Amino acid sequence: MKLSEIYQKKHELWLKILFASFAISNETIKSELYDMAGIEFRHLKWLSNLLLEKNIEYDYEKKCIDIQKESNLEFFKFLRDEILEIKREYSMESALFMRMNSDENYFLERLEEFIKFDSNKKIYAFDRNRIYKNKDLSKSSTDALNIFLFEEGYKEYELIMIYAYMQNYTKNLTLYNVYQDLIDESMYHLKCFGNMQAHMGILTIPRTIIPSLYKQADIKKFLLDGIDEERAAKEECIKLSVAVKDKELSKFFDFINYQENYHIELMQKALMHLT
């Protein structure tokens, strides 16, 4: 298998483990799966470095991913089989592939433990109950929250991947660090929105990102457009905070709103260092 094809498979595996962490309700297992996904994302970063070093083009294409599982057991077996499949493609002559193989050997051991001790619980992340933590929201508030979670969940995934691509191709240390901050921030937001989607039974893998979005010829324009999008996101957070008429949710969206302020600051910092 070509290195770019392994990259695609690893991208898909990262999403499968990440969204499994959102779907599963056991907090201990959820946290461990999220950490596994974080390590898989690090693998992706190292693979993108290797692809750049070898002057090989890569993209964010992915196959249709079916994560709608009925139980924890089904999810654990699914992840186990996916990891076993991709490990067959690793070259043990490479330090990077040896590291990835070692990490995933451990993941497989943990999944086997999960299968033994926490396999019978039902998954509710896809049942479309549209209820968040038993809160009595109006239909209009529920609709507004649903739309927000779909749109913002995709946006955060999109930003993670775009900034990761830009980070891989920059030689400017300040820009590299700014992109890392923006990746980390969007990763946190994606985690929040993914867990909220799962609570409401509407968890969905984001759609594929088209290459023109991350293979940016004009990074300055992208950042300027991004600042406008962050300002628009702030307005959506404010509207939703008012619309949901729930103290806990309103505070959460106010919290996200204020974080968007600093995202704008980071993008403005990046603009100052573009050459």
52-61 pLDDT tens trace: 999 999 999 9
Which residues sit opposite 71 in a β-bridge? Answer: 122
Q: What is the mean pLDDT of the chain?
A: 92
116-125, 132-141, 152-161, range with greatest mean pLDDT: 152-161
DSSP class per residue in 6-51:
HHHHHHHHHHHHHHHHHH---HHHHHHHHHHHHHHHHHHHHHHHHH
Task: Say what percent of the chain tops pLDDT 90.
Answer: 68
- HSE-up of 83 (CA within 13 Å, CB side)? 24
- pLDDT tens for each residue of 145-196: 999 999 999 999 999 999 999 999 999 999 999 999 999 999 999 999 999 9
218 in Cβ contact with 42 (< 8 Å): no
pTM (whole model) above 0.85:
yes
Evaluated on CA atoms 34, 40, 44, 46, the torsion sign reads: positive
pLDDT in the model for residue 245: 78
Closest CA to 7 of 46, 65, 55: 46
**What's the confidence (pLDDT) of residue 19?**
98
Query: Looking at residue 84, what is its pLDDT?
Result: 97
> Would you state the structure tokens that stand for residue 200, as one six-digit string?
């409401």
Q: 81 pLDDT band (50/70/90 cuts)?
A: very high
Q: Which tokens hold the place of 255?
A: 């919290």
What CATH fold (topology level) applies to the domain 1-123?
Ferritin (1.20.1260)
Instruction: Supply the pLDDT for residue 246.
Output: 83
Q: Look at residue 6 in the predicted model and tell me its pLDDT.
A: 96
Are 145 and 240 in contact, with CB atoms under 8 Å apart? yes
Q: Give the C-alpha separation, 64 to 69, whole Å.
A: 15
What average pLDDT does this structure show over 129-136?
Answer: 87
- pLDDT at site 241: 81
Q: What is the pLDDT of residue 221?
A: 86
pLDDT band of residue 88 (cuts 50, 70, 90) is: very high
pLDDT tens digits, residue range 204-252? 999 999 998 888 778 888 888 889 888 888 888 888 888 787 888 888 8
Give the bridge partners for 168, in sequence order: none
- The whole-number pLDDT of residue 232 equals 84
- Ranges in the chain annotated CATH 1.20.1260.10: 1-123, 125-275
Rounded CA separation 187/39 (Å) = 13
Give me the pLDDT at residue 208, please.
95
- pLDDT of res. 118: 65
| 43: pLDDT strictly greater than 90 | yes
Amino acid at 95: A
User: What CATH number matches the domain at 125-275, 1.20.1260.10, 1.20.210.10, 3.90.79.10, 2.130.10.30?
Assistant: 1.20.1260.10
C-beta separation of 33 from 69 below 8 A: no
CA distance 240 to 234: 10
Written as six digits, the tokens of 38 are 């974080």
Position 275 pLDDT exceeds 80: no
